[in-house]
């Protein structure tokens, strides 16, 4: 994890490996809550019996967008700024889901700071997150996460 003291430190860190986030376990309860919140009740995510019988994965898997939603958790773990800052989601430059993420898996992400550009008083950052899941070779998600870091004045 990179803990930087100032906006200047962030811009100086462009191109740096920010390290790894902590592990997060994808539980059946999280998948069910995500399905409920998004009205995405597909059997591949929720029906273990059917997934064992019919799925190419042999088990239930997390929704791709559930996997992506961990980007906030992971990006705030790999990059922190000690200067009082408000982080705001700005968008995504690119997202891919190269492999499925089985329910019950532990997942984390490695971050790389790709860009940091001054936009008025704010700093627009792009952090590439490459997710890792135990026991798999392909990442379940690769995303370029764009955030605005706004200085907080007290």
Segment 105-154, tens digit of pLDDT: 999 999 999 999 999 988 999 999 999 999 889 999 999 999 998 888 76
48, part of any domain: no
**Phi and psi torsions of 9, nearest 5°:** -65, -35
- Give the whole-angstrom CA distance, residue 139 versus residue 141: 5
pLDDT at 67: 98
52, part of any domain: no
51, part of any domain: no
**Dihedral over Cα of 18, 107, 54, 35: its sign:** negative
Q: How many domains does the chain have?
A: 1
84, part of any domain: yes
Q: Which residue has the higher pLDDT, 152 or 22?
A: 22
119, part of any domain: yes
Looking up residue 112, the CATH number of its domain turns out to be: 3.10.129.10
Question: What mean pLDDT is reported for the chain?
Answer: 92
Q: Please answer whether residues 129 and 143 qualify as being in contact, where contact means their C-beta atoms are separated by less than 8 angstroms.
A: yes
Bridge partners of 110, per DSSP, are 20, 130
- Collapsing DSSP to helix, strand or coil, 31 comes out as helix
Is the pLDDT at 72 greater than 90? The verdict is yes
- Give the whole-angstrom CA distance, residue 26 versus residue 44: 15
30, part of any domain: no
Question: Token pair for residue 60?
Answer: 């239930």
Is the pLDDT at 8 greater than 70? The verdict is yes
50, part of any domain: no
Domain of residue 146: give its range.
2-25+64-151
Is the pLDDT at 47 greater than 90? The verdict is yes
Convert the pLDDT of each residue in 81-95 to its tens digit: 887 778 899 999 999
14, part of any domain: yes
Q: Which residue has the higher pLDDT, 142 or 14?
A: 142
Residue 17 CA neighbour count, 13 Å, CB half: 5
- Collapsing DSSP to helix, strand or coil, 131 comes out as strand
Residue from 56, 144, 151 nearest 100 by CA:
56
Is the pLDDT at 24 greater than 90? The verdict is yes
């Amino acid at each position: 994890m990179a803990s930087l003291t100032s906006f200047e430190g962030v811009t100086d860190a462009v191109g740096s490996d920010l390290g790894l986030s902590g592990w997060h376990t994808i539980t059946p309860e999280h998948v069910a809550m995500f399905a409920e919140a998004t009205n995405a009740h597909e059997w591949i995510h929720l029906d273990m019996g059917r997934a064992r019988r019919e799925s190419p994965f042999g088990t239930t898997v997390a929704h791709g967008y559930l996997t992506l939603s961990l980007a906030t958790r992971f990006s705030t773990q790999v990059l922190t700024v000690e200067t009082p800052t408000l982080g705001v989601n700005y968008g995504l430059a690119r997202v891919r889901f190269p492999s499925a993420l089985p329910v019950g898996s532990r997942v984390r992400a490695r971050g790389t700071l790709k860009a940091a550009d001054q936009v008025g008083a704010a700093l627009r950052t792009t952090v590439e997150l490459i997710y890792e899941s135990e026991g798999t070779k392909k990442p379940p998600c690769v995303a370029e996460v764009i955030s605005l870091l706004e200085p907080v004045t007290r």
